[in-house]
Amino acid sequence: MANEPNSSSSNKRFPKEIRLSGMKNEPEKIAAVSSLVGRIIEKGFAPATQNPHSLAPPQPTVLPFPVARHRSDGPHWAPLSHEGREEEPANDEADMNLDHQSAFAKPLKRKPKKDLDFSKWRELLPEDLVHKKMNPNYLQTLVGKRKGEDRSSLVSNGSRISNQVEDMEQSHIISSDVLNGASKDTGGGLLITETSNFKAERMDVDVETAPRKTENRWDSCPHENMESDMPSNSRDSTQLVSHDNRISSSLEDIKHSSIDSSHVFSRAPKDIGANKLVLEGRNFKPEEEGPLSSTDIDAENRALLQRMSREEIEEAQAEITKQIKPSLLEKLKERGRKKLEKESGNLPLQNASSSPDALSGGNDLSKISNSSSSAVKCGEDDSLRKPSSADEKKEDKNRYDEMDLKSSTPMVSRPVVGSSSWKSWSDRVEAVRALRFSLHGTVVREYPTQLPTETNSTIANSFLYNIGNVTERDFLRTEGDPGGAGYTIKDAMELTRSTIPGQRALALQLLASVLDQALHGLLVQNDGGREIGRSNYPDELVDWQAVWSYALGPEPQLALSLRMALDDNHVSVVLACARVIQRVLSYEMNEQFFDLTKLLTASVKDMYTAPVFRSRPEFNVGFLKGGYWKYSAKPSNMFPFKDNDVDDGNDEDHTIQDDVTLAAQDVVAGLIRMGILPRLRFLLEVDQIIAADECLLSILVALARHSPTCANAIVKCPRLLETIVNRFIKKSTMDISHADLKSVCLLRVLAQSDRNNCVYLIEHGIFQNALRHLYMHSFSLERWLTTDREQCKMISTMLVGQLSLWEVCINYGYCLTSFSDFFPAMSFWLSPLTLDRIMKADLFVEFSSVTRQAYLVLGALSARLPNFYSVEQAQDQIGDDLGNWSWNHVFPMVDTALKWVSLKTDICISSVLNRHVTSAGFVIQNSYRSSLIWVISAVLRMLSRVFEKIAPQEGVTYIKKNNIHISRLTELVFHVGLLIFENGILNASEVDKAGLAIRGHSFVQTLCSLRNDSDYETSLSSGCCLHELLQTIILVDKIMWSVKAENKKLGSIDGIGKEVVELLDGLTKWSQNELKPVLLMFMEHIASEWYIHDSFEMFGRGGPAPGVGLGWGAPKGGFWSRTAILCQVDARVITCLLQVLPIEVQEIDKLSHQDDEFLVSVAIPLQKLNAVFGICLVLGPRDSLMFESILSCVLLRVPFMKYLGLCVHHFLRKNKGMEYFCWVYKEDDYQKFSEVLNTHFRNRWLSRKTKSLDKAHNAVDNKSNPRQNQTKVGNLDTIYEETVDAPSSSAGNMQYITLQIEWANQRLPLPVHWFLSPLATVDATESIDVARSGLFFLLGLETMSSLCSENPSSPILQVPLVWKLHALSMVFLKRNDILEEKQTRDTFKTLQDIYGQRLDKLRQRRPVVVLENEKSSGVYGREILYFIKEVHESYGSFIEILIEQFSAVSYGDVLFGRQLGVYLHRTVEVPVRLLAWKALSNAHILELLPPINDCIGEIEGYLIPFEDNEEILEAYLKSWVSGDLDRAATRGSLSFTVTLHHLSSFLFFSEVGGEKLFLKKRLAKSLLRDFSRKTQHQGMLLKLIRYEPLMSRDGFGVEDIALDAQEVTRRLEFICEACDGSSSLLAEVDKLKSALL
């Protein structure tokens, strides 16, 4: 940058400073400034000075504080502020000095930084992944997207630059067009080169290989330079223009490459002149008029200019002026001037300064402001900021044309669904880098800027400060508001390592509040799901998801700083640090989540919170998504120093970098690895900071929830548990502190994670100590009322905690006998007798929380009841502690419980429910109602658990022993059944005549309306309650039926009356009319909800994932959001309801064969079907049992299969276009389908991954040869993405080993296209039946879905067509023989036809003209089927395999051919189409494709629009010339029609100029030359010339139509023209002419 001999230092000081600031702001671009002086960027530490733009920092009145830095921070021991000062000279002298020195300074080469700056996640990815990402196809799409991206990232300045880039790019496209096929790669490579330069992403592979192919004859500079030459032009121009040079050297750079290459490669030099003109004209424009360009580019270009000799420059200039038309020159000048004006209109600063450097500097200023305004407003004036706002954008179209809104305002959290690309996500996270937070954790937007009126240079000076003087902001000694400017997260990190304890504590508090805000922001954003941008409250504009990801991401190295801060000597720092860690682990939010899920019914298990990612889709499962989950950080990496750490002496193997890397993968794992546990123990044991106790225990709970490994580590950590027990559990006093609550919670979590932990707790008496309140107290109302409110709350929370600890033990089967001990204490809570007094004292919420928990415990106890009829009930008991609850206890408990259900008779309960004012006159609060509903649902749960044990089970032999019991129990059931009627829980109108039912609003209806309540708690509780109620009712019915069936002598039990007889018909039967609307309502809910899980795993490893902290930034929280919980409750209610109201049984009986009636009747079943599929998609890892039951009870039942068969039948009749085939499946077939699919789906989606082989192998290795393994111990192992998996059966065993579920090693939640798995899985062990059944199932589903026109949100139709087509292709790969039987062939063909129709529909819906912005985002033309983008990035190899199969064994099967034809469809993305064509051509089987009329979909789909992709056209030509098409021509197959159509229309119809014209001529020439060699091609060629694409008729390509002579002559003339006067070719044309005319 100092290489400007002619400009005085004073002249350029100002702009340079500003420019520098700009660079710092754009860290992405730093790489491009590699020649700048003094930019040492260290590995592992991001550029320290990235937030330079700010207000005047407080003027330091003292010397800067020395900053404590971490030892890994490199070798500068001098005070840090110098580092910054090098770049930002404080005064003139410094500036001068620097200038002198910098002349000698050697530019430092910056390490190439890959893709994303913010995330070293990328680097953590395994190698192959990165490579895959970098394959040419990917890059091509990158280039396609590049325009938009570049602009958004460079923003205002970028618009100019990217203009330039665009020009360069175009010139290269031209040049590559000029080149022959061989040089194709070069063109692409050059494009990529530029891209990568601008984004500072140097993709070495492509960049280096590409330019080498071209040969540079102009100058001898090595070709690697080309990449750096490209972007440098603008700088050159800047300088040259200032010297009144008209032509810049940059032009030459481009010319060198492109002209040279064209010289080298082109065979027709004549054409080049024109091309060159275009090329240079385009290039010329920005140089001529626009000296404003990025200085980044400048810097490198200058160096190059120096290398060029005077003569070379002159030569180049002469060349250019010679070649450009004067008129063109004028035009370009004019255009450039206009642009300049526009630009300067927006940039007042720019006008002020006149020198080119100043201009560029000003430009940079605008760059800063634009890019940073997205994050935080910086210290520039407002006019600079505004251009980035959306309004301005519209006005200034030229500049902000394609600016990506998202990246220009990344703070706004937009719905992520549409923009799921990694890029936009990274932009969002990247923006957080610049966010500044106040001490309260809010974002500082507007600085209290006191914009000085001095000269610009001092503004710049005073605004700039670097990281060093963050520490200079001394709250005690500086004037003004030192914290006012706010701190970035990196600032805070820096401060945590300050030498001043106060600063450390401050920084940590700042972090804590930022994370706090982020958590709450996440919660709001997750739950609300509303358009956040509209809100007025500014902080909701912050993209908290990105903030959270950034903070926990790799760059700030949060875990490391926290771990060091925890070792601090100062209590305040430790305390603050503990709070930060608690936030990082998102303890509170997670606890809230778990408290809610605990209330859900289906599973007793909790989930671990460790972040996970999904393994990549594999070939042998057809690339279907939804692989096994894996931990982001390998569990074994958490403990590198197992046993042999002290005396090994290989310390150097472990670096802190390993810790940091691990922490970047997973914060918790990193903390554990860095030894947080011993430190926590020390703090608890020795320091005993009372204030920190609660916090530390919370941390422990959160750690224990992380993963089994972590929980185990806590248990194993010596003395940790003992310390906690001694300090908090084994107290003699009864008073309760918050820490005590947390300690009980910790015990519960630990017990949950492993059965052995539970045993440990019981054996060591810890359990008894923890539950001391239950032992000692006998609660009474008076006491409860007299204690003060706070204490009440504490006691109730404590009791809930203790009871849930007990519940855990009960679930394992321990401590059942403690019931008699605890009952006295519990009895107070169980009965609603004292309710009115409690409500009067306003303690109902506390009271009910304990009651609810008590009933949950009773429910757990009931689950341990011996089965009533079971033979083995005596043998069931294992050991002393393990046992069953006794039936003797049940009856009194049930009696008490039923009091809660008597909704009508109990005044208190009914008043709460109906929100009446009670007699006492106080108003019932909203929370009362939800609390009461929770209690009722817990009561109902207990009842249903009891009934489950009474209900007859299949396959169990009944023995009639406890006859007394039986009669008593049945009586009990009757009693409950009657209660349900009496209290209006169900409004059974039919029972009216018996006088049982009470008119009015039934409880079920109330619950339904409450489900729609805006209050979350209320709607969740009512949903749960409804589910429990339904379960109870179903069970009651079941028992009734069995009684009716088994026990004919009713009189003996019947003491109640004839109502009972009615009851025996079943509650559900009576209440069907009531339940139907309920079902409808919930189906609507699920239809709108199932989307939420759709996008939360979109990034794979390294992206937001389920795990710590509300889903770790997954969009809308993923499974960790409260919406998800609600969703699952809905799912449960629906599954229950579907048991009562199954999908089809009623309908199937009265099915008429009248089509119309059938079509009407299909609507409701279809809605149910969609709901079921919706449910399948929202199932979480805990719900595997539910998935099984859905499969076997709903989806794959034989009647439903039959129903699907009927649907197909009707569909075929309705659609006349389809071939009607006789549908002859029989009962046996359906039975078989059901069985086969059931096993398949279970194995495929529910199998858990067994321990991977390599792990076991490693274990063996460790034992056998420890010496060999020693070196490996410390290093981080990589996680293998693909490991062998073996299916294992999932058994619902009552003897739990653990009560927590890992996300890892299982597959749920399902991907949307899960039902395609029978087709797509290639598994040799699977029988052929699987695919056969899968085909039938799929056809059934598809026909059923398409029978009904209005079903908007069907998950079946939502699966992209690409996936379905792909699944069909997989069938061929799997077994060719499947398609040999007639029936399956018909099924398959129908499916193909259906998809063809759908494809046509999609095609017609697409606009003909593609919008500009769509184009930039990678959507070209009319493409719909993105196989590479959607299915797998290496889809090409799949196609090759498929085609090989086709060529080897298919006998040219028509179905197979049709399937392959799809890949040539015009809507398929270009790379796939090209690959498919080439593969077919190489295998010489083009002729095997069926004629175009037989192909899938309409003919137009293959022909319209005309092909304009040159690569594909060349491929067509190649096949033509090589003779591969000869047989295709005689057979009239698809391939020939397509070639004929596209070649002919390209040659004779397309209106193209420039490079395309050249291509056109070349194609024509090649065809002629081929004709001259192979006379047998005459027929084909004549066809080509005569070809007339007719749109109006029913067919395309009516070949032998009599063209009028004029048209033929026109075409021949064109061919003549293409011959370029070659006599031999003209002779051929004459031959043709004679044949034609």
Partner 1 sequence: MNAPDRYERFVVPEGTKKVSYERDTKIINAASFTIEREEHTVGNVLRMQLHRDPNVLFAGYKLPHPLQYKIIVRIQTTSQSSPMQAYNQAINDLDKELNHLKDIFETYNQAVNYASLSNHSY
Q: Which residues contact partner 1 by CB under 8 A?
A: 1380, 1444, 1447-1452, 1484-1485, 1488, 1527
**842 backbone φψ class: left, alpha, beta (φ>0; ψ -120 to 50):** left
Q: Considering beta carbons, is residue 382 or 1380 the nearer one to partner 1? A: 1380
In the complex, what is the shortest distance from the CB of residue 1248 to partner 1, in angstroms, rounded to a whole number? 32
Q: What ranges in 1323-1418 are assigned the alpha helix state H?
A: 1328-1347, 1355-1358, 1361-1374, 1382-1405, 1412-1416
In the complex, what is the shortest distance from the CB of residue 1146 to partner 1, in angstroms, rounded to a whole number? 43
SS3 at position 716: helix
Q: Considering beta carbons, is residue 719 or 1382 the nearer one to partner 1? A: 1382
Cα 1108 from chain centroid?
Answer: 15
Which H or E element spans position 631? Answer: strand 629-631
In the complex, what is the shortest distance from the CB of residue 1385 to partner 1, in angstroms, rounded to a whole number? 11
* b/e code 198-230 from CB counts within 10 Å (16+ = b): bbbbbbeebbbebbebbebebbebebebbbbbb
Residue in 1049, 1054, 1021 with CA at minimum distance from that of residue 929? 1021
The CA distance from 76 to 86, in Å, is: 13
The CA distance from 718 to 722, in Å, is: 8
Q: Which residues have a Cβ under 8 Å from the Cβ of 876 and sit 6 or more positions away?
A: 866, 870, 884
Q: Considering beta carbons, is residue 878 or 1448 the nearer one to partner 1? A: 1448
Q: Considering beta carbons, is residue 676 or 1378 the nearer one to partner 1? A: 1378
Q: Considering beta carbons, is residue 758 or 1485 the nearer one to partner 1? A: 1485
In the complex, what is the shortest distance from the CB of residue 1527 to partner 1, in angstroms, rounded to a whole number? 8
In the complex, what is the shortest distance from the CB of residue 1383 to partner 1, in angstroms, rounded to a whole number? 14
The CA distance from 4 to 642, in Å, is: 60
Per DSSP, the residues of 5-38 read TTS-HHHHHHHHHHHHHHHHH-HHHHGGGTTSTT
- Reading the block at residue 138, the tokens are 């990917």
In the complex, what is the shortest distance from the CB of residue 1388 to partner 1, in angstroms, rounded to a whole number? 15
Which H or E element spans position 1189? Answer: helix 1184-1190
SS3 at position 629: strand
- Reading the block at residue 353, the tokens are 């300064």
| β partners of residue 613 | 630
In the complex, what is the shortest distance from the CB of residue 1452 to partner 1, in angstroms, rounded to a whole number? 4
The single residue listed with the structure tokens 């619902």 is 1292
CA distances from 1292 to 793, 863, 1183, 1295, 1373 (A): 37, 13, 11, 9, 36
Q: Considering beta carbons, is residue 537 or 1451 the nearer one to partner 1? A: 1451
Q: Considering beta carbons, is residue 303 or 1328 the nearer one to partner 1? A: 1328
Q: Considering beta carbons, is residue 64 or 1452 the nearer one to partner 1? A: 1452
In the complex, what is the shortest distance from the CB of residue 1389 to partner 1, in angstroms, rounded to a whole number? 16
In the complex, what is the shortest distance from the CB of residue 1522 to partner 1, in angstroms, rounded to a whole number? 13
Q: Considering beta carbons, is residue 175 or 1533 the nearer one to partner 1? A: 1533
The CA distance from 687 to 706, in Å, is: 26
Q: Considering beta carbons, is residue 918 or 1447 the nearer one to partner 1? A: 1447
Q: Considering beta carbons, is residue 493 or 1488 the nearer one to partner 1? A: 1488
The CA distance from 1534 to 1460, in Å, is: 10
Q: Considering beta carbons, is residue 191 or 1460 the nearer one to partner 1? A: 1460
The CA distance from 928 to 842, in Å, is: 10
Contact between 350 and 309 (Cβ < 8 Å): no
Q: Considering beta carbons, is residue 104 or 1451 the nearer one to partner 1? A: 1451
Contact between 1102 and 121 (Cβ < 8 Å): yes
In the complex, what is the shortest distance from the CB of residue 1446 to partner 1, in angstroms, rounded to a whole number? 8
Q: Considering beta carbons, is residue 355 or 1447 the nearer one to partner 1? A: 1447
CA distances from 340 to 32, 292, 337, 350 (A): 24, 8, 5, 10
DSSP designation for 487: B
Contact between 1616 and 1556 (Cβ < 8 Å): no
What is the sign of the dihedral through the CA atoms of 279, 285, 286 and 287? Answer: positive
Q: Considering beta carbons, is residue 184 or 1527 the nearer one to partner 1? A: 1527
In the complex, what is the shortest distance from the CB of residue 1106 to partner 1, in angstroms, rounded to a whole number? 41
DSSP designation for 1225: -
In the complex, what is the shortest distance from the CB of residue 1447 to partner 1, in angstroms, rounded to a whole number? 5
In the complex, what is the shortest distance from the CB of residue 1312 to partner 1, in angstroms, rounded to a whole number? 35
In the complex, what is the shortest distance from the CB of residue 1485 to partner 1, in angstroms, rounded to a whole number? 8
The CA distance from 524 to 526, in Å, is: 5
Which H or E element spans position 461? Answer: helix 456-463
Residue in 1458, 1295, 1337 with CA at minimum distance from that of residue 758? 1295
In the complex, what is the shortest distance from the CB of residue 1448 to partner 1, in angstroms, rounded to a whole number? 4
Residue in 1023, 1194, 1026, 1048 with CA at minimum distance from that of residue 1122? 1023
Helix axes 1605-1618, 1578-1586, angle to 10 degrees: 120
Contacts by residues 124-127 (CB-CB < 8 Å, ≥ 24 positions apart): 124/554, 124/661, 124/664, 124/665, 124/1101, 124/1102, 125/1101, 125/1102, 126/1278, 126/1279, 126/1281
Q: Considering beta carbons, is residue 899 or 1531 the nearer one to partner 1? A: 1531
Q: Considering beta carbons, is residue 1065 or 1444 the nearer one to partner 1? A: 1444
Is residue 1433 exposed (0-12), middle (13-18) or buried (19+ Cβ within 10 Å)?
middle
Q: Considering beta carbons, is residue 907 or 1448 the nearer one to partner 1? A: 1448
